[in-house]
Amino acid sequence: MGYADELFDLTDRVVMVTGGSRGLGREMAFAAAQCGADAIIASRKYESCVATAEEIAAATGRTAFPYQVHVGRWDELDGLVDAAYERFGKVDVLINNAGMSPLYESLGSVTEKLFDAVVNLNLKGPFRLSTLVGERMVADGGGSIINVSSSGSRRPRPEQLPYSAAKAGLNALTEGLALAFGPTVRVNTLMPGPFLTDISKAWDIPATTKGAQHFALKRLGNPPEIIGAALFLASDASSYTTGSIIRCDGGIP
């Protein structure tokens, strides 16, 4: 093993990724398995979880466990955690990645249903899952929780206001949970800017690309570019980092 391989090694660790079937979650789950971890791939569409889990297992030789769950539903999260501990006996890394930001016409057109759905998935679910897993991690002697937030939480835009507010809540959750679960368990926020995942299919790409010209890197992110920051937070490479926000956004001013 080279020096960096050891620093970022995840051999025999168990990494749970919500929204692990597609997009940034899939990238992070794949990368964790490449570094030696077994992965739990959790999202709403079971077939997608199975397909991604099979690809990960075939490419890395690690175990990947698909699980169907709606992260915005409090009562479904106990089942996910129980299944993970039954299958692997532990979770070393929890990546609260599942998230979404539905489009709406105007602020006045935002319904209570839309608002609740956004908060449930981006904030309530991660709270419940972090508390369920975090307490077990403390009892087991260690772990790392990564909350995937958004640059929108720092620079809220009118067209994504419920989402930005929920992600800002997630940033707050990170700091509080780091205190609650420290010194045993580390909790950090990974804050992406705009990445070209399925989410971006709803965007006006020329306009968004033009908007990115004021970023330091003057472009949108490609999904694999999330991996380095995720592996840093998942592994012992970040052993003195907790309660923090790691931006991965091309340098949004």
Ligand X SMILES: NC(=O)c1ccc[n+]([C@@H]2O[C@H](COP(=O)([O-])OP(=O)(O)OC[C@H]3O[C@@H](n4cnc5c(N)ncnc54)[C@H](OP(=O)(O)O)[C@@H]3O)[C@@H](O)[C@H]2O)c1
Residues forming the site for ligand X (CB under 6 A): 18-19, 21-25, 43-45, 48, 69-72, 97-100, 121, 148, 150, 192, 194-195, 197-200
Residue 163 CB, nearest approach to ligand X (Å)? 7
Q: Quick check: is 104 catalytic?
A: no
Q: Which is nearer to ligand X, 19 or 169 (CB)?
A: 19
Residue 121 CB, nearest approach to ligand X (Å)? 5
Which listed residue (46, 104, 163, 240) is catalytic?
Answer: 163
- The secondary structure of the chain as a DSSP string is --HHHHHT--TT-EEEEETTTSHHHHHHHHHHHHTT-EEEEEES-HHHHHHHHHHHHHHHSS-EEEEE--TT-HHHHHHHHHHHHHHHS--SEEEE--------S-GGG--HHHHHHHHIIIIIHHHHHHHHHHHHHHHHT-EEEEEE--GGGTS--GGGHHHHHHHHHHHHHHHHHHHHHTTTEEEEEEEE--B-SGGGGGS-HHHHHHHGGGSTT-SPBPGGGGHHHHHHHHSGGGTT--S-EEEESS---
Q: Which is nearer to ligand X, 4 or 45 (CB)?
A: 45
Q: Which is nearer to ligand X, 7 or 57 (CB)?
A: 57
Q: Which is nearer to ligand X, 185 or 248 (CB)?
A: 248
Residues with a catalytic annotation lie at 163
